[in-house]
Structure 1
């Protein structure tokens, strides 16, 4: 992963962004020697967001199972049938 100082980002934003688009490699921005932010390609960011939504949905389903909030196949089918009318 590439690391850039925030001052370099201010001075060379166009070049850093061009490199990012070409390499698709995230850039860690540091401020006062400490990690401050990541620059990522838009497509990669959107993909990460979609994956996060899927993982959150799976986690909700796992919680529902642990809490006993489930339906049998027949119950689910009946509910869906009423809903789809």
Structure 2
């Protein structure tokens, strides 16, 4: 079997630590994955994205989201 190499496309991942898991979410496409380490969560997300785009070809490049911090003030408990 010959694998045809494609072209690289960069996506943005947001990673949170939830209990024993690291959860990686793609901000451009509604895909998420998890792993026991940060690296494993990103590897699993990469694999999930590749599988997703095998069935749904990328017709246009995704727009990179603008990341900005938002600070709010919460009432004292």
Q: Settle same-fold status: TM greater than 0.5.
A: no
**Which structure has greater helix proportion?**
1
TM-score (norm 2): 0.28
